[in-house]
Amino acid sequence: MNLRLAILPLALALSLPAVADAARGFTVRDMAYMDRHSSPTLSPDGRVLVFAKRVVDKDSNKSSTSLWIRNLATRDMRPPSRLTPEGWNVNSPAFSPDGKSVYFLSAKSGSMQLYAMPVAGGEPRRLTDTAVDVDGYKLSPDGRQVALALAVFPDCKADLGCTRKKLDEAGAAKASGQVFDRMFIRHWDTWNDGRLNRVFAAKLGGEGMAKGGTLLSGDIAGDIPSKPFGDLSDFAWSPDGTSVAMSVRQADREEPWNTNFDIWLVAADGSGARNLTAANKAWDAGPVFSADGKTLYYRAMARPGFEADRFALMAMDLATGKARELAPKWDASADGITLSADGQWLYTTAQALGQHPLFRISLANGGVEPVVEDGSVSAFDLAGPTLAVSRNSLKSGDVVYATSADGKAPLRAITPSAGDMLPDVAWGDYEQFTFAGWNNETVHGYVVKPWNYTPGKKYPVAFLIHGGPQGSFGNGWSYRWNPQTYAGQGYAVVMIDFHGSTGYGQAFTDAISQHWGDRPLEDLQKGWAAAQRKYAFLDGGKACALGASYGGFMVNWIAGNWNAPWKCLISHDGVFDQRMMGYATEELWFTEWEQGGTPYDVPKQYEQFNPVNHVSAFKVPMLVIHGQLDYRIPVEQGIALFAAHQRRGVESKFLYFPDENHWVLKPQNSVLWHDTVNDWLKQHIGQ
């Protein structure tokens, strides 16, 4: 099925009238407190599905997650049943190789540990009793061993008690100062305490609980999983369980400006670490062994220092060390690797034209086929004849579906959609559109109607600008920047995937580097004009622009370079001073790639598109939002932006979160964020 044609049914929805008798639009409280479903996990034979369900307690402002189970072999209408007991908060489900048990992590004992329980039901059994939290795990193919991810002090080696003692001593110390002699001193939202993420192999099936294991990554000075968002998808057992492969970046003084992750092959007894991808100085990730153990599949970038390069799919002959690209003509960046049981296909998701489909690639000839096209596939599992996927869209969070391995059978919904959970809500219909942007190249965007759309009426507009900058605002669901929360307030929404966005080919993505303020701005200007020409219900005289991260930078840039169309602006965690950003961010590779070097080597690059140089043109009311724990774009950027507006006498507000990072994650903080943003919009454009 052609991906472009798949979008047509979505476009047709825009021509239909909204539900006339709908009670209300979607609100932030709906979004913050609705149930979420994730982690589809299949039994080895593909007959049983386990998934995670997250619920929020409004009073405690905390969430908890349980596991639920569904027998896919039955076609009755019985809903899934709860697997884990009431009162347990769990994550990371996995089946045992025989399909009789489900493993998961839980902090029920007071620390995060590994548990197992029968698929047929019963009480969870604790399998580990480590002195530090288990941050992740992966079972060996035969189920006799488990890899455990633990954060330990390198000089403690495999002695977990040593790490526990050091942590306790630090907590009891009367002096709080800490001396650093190299970066990272902090990363994302956490200060560096000297620990590294390491992987240990522990035996399963014996008496008692595992208190430690064999240190597998001891000879490799780096974090596995990588910080802050890595997981054990960067770790793989060989089919016979005698060796492992892992993707690691060296934790040395160059780490903050380095993206060189290498794949290491290590014996399961922790000996003989060998770097398989030393020749590639860019990012190598996600190793997966073939069924016979002779081939290692992985993903590889080509350009050192660039975090948003294309991930190509690679296959390495382990006997010779020679690697080849599987689908060199496929201009997409693969998210991961899952092999089919018959060894003929490699499954992966990738962004494509404003959507996030699931594809499969022939291992024989590199041919690419779409499997699940519409919307955004956030996770999937493949076992036996069954494919399970979590898919979301602009009208619903993740819904877990089951289908055939090739995706040709109808999708069978296992969990409810947002519409099922909120039957009294009317959703804003949406349509993708295109226009000629920078360099006369095709640029895509989406328009979302207000929930209460009436033909012939005009509506004020929320103009959303995505972050990244190598990102996308497409046909997917977000719990932070969700167009339906604006459509639910009676606004129309416009989103432009400007040059630099992902899913349109690597050259399109590359176009933004060293061009933060010209090419994307041109796309936004032309997209805004094109949307108004195409959609008569957009009230261009009542519009506000808002964005976060790079989107926040662009709002700051717009404030001094394109402020005429806007009645108000909203900047969340955006760069205000490029020069200071080049020194203060913890991920130096990001600014140095995007600006073409360091602030002292190429100062003109940092000043070329620097919002701080255009404060004299600020005149549009701005709401500034920032979190204290944001170490990607430090809070001083937001404080300075607010100060600039205050000093010039421009109407402005500052929303500050002392306990949030680059994102706003706590449910009640999210509600406050949206209430403040919506109040700002209403104050300046009505509704």
Q: Fill in the DSSP letter of residue 519.
A: H
Q: Fill in the DSSP letter of residue 156.
A: G
**Could you report how far apart the first and last alpha carbons of the chain are, in Å?**
41
Give exposure, 58-78, as e/b (b: 16+ Cβ within 10 Å).
eeeeebebbbbbbebeeeeee
What the block records as the tokens of 501 is: 């966005």
DSSP notation for 529-592: HHHHHH-TTEEEEEEEEEEETHHHHHHHHHHHHS-TT-SEEEEES--S-HHHHHHH-S-HHHHH
Question: Is there a catalytic annotation at residue 549?
Answer: yes
Question: Is there a catalytic annotation at residue 271?
Answer: no
What the block records as the tokens of 114 is: 């590994």
Catalytic position from the list 662, 670, 674, 684: 662
Helix (H, G, I), strand (E, B) or coil at 130: coil
Structure-token match 């240190």, residue found: 215
Structure-token match 């509600």, residue found: 671
What the block records as the tokens of 626 is: 């920032």
Question: Is there a catalytic annotation at residue 35?
Answer: no
Rounded Cα–Cα distance for residues 129 and 111 (Å)? 9
Catalytic position from the list 37, 630, 645, 684: 630
Structure-token match 């034979």, residue found: 45
DSSP notation for 187-204: ETTEE--S-EEEEEEEE-
Helices 519-534 and 550-561 pack at an angle, to 10 degrees, of: 80
Q: What are phi and psi of 448, to 5 degrees?
A: -115, 130
Rounded Cα–Cα distance for residues 526 and 29 (Å)? 34
CA torsion angle 469 473 475 480 (round to 10):
100
Where does 203-339 have alpha helices with state H? none
How would you classify the pairing of strands 459-465 and 538-548?
Answer: parallel
Q: Fill in the DSSP letter of residue 18.
A: P
One-letter amino acid for residue 493 of the chain: V
**Beta-carbon count within 10 A of 636 CB:** 15
Catalytic position from the list 243, 247, 549, 571: 549
What the block records as the tokens of 522 is: 């041109």
- Annotated active-site positions, please? 549, 630, 662
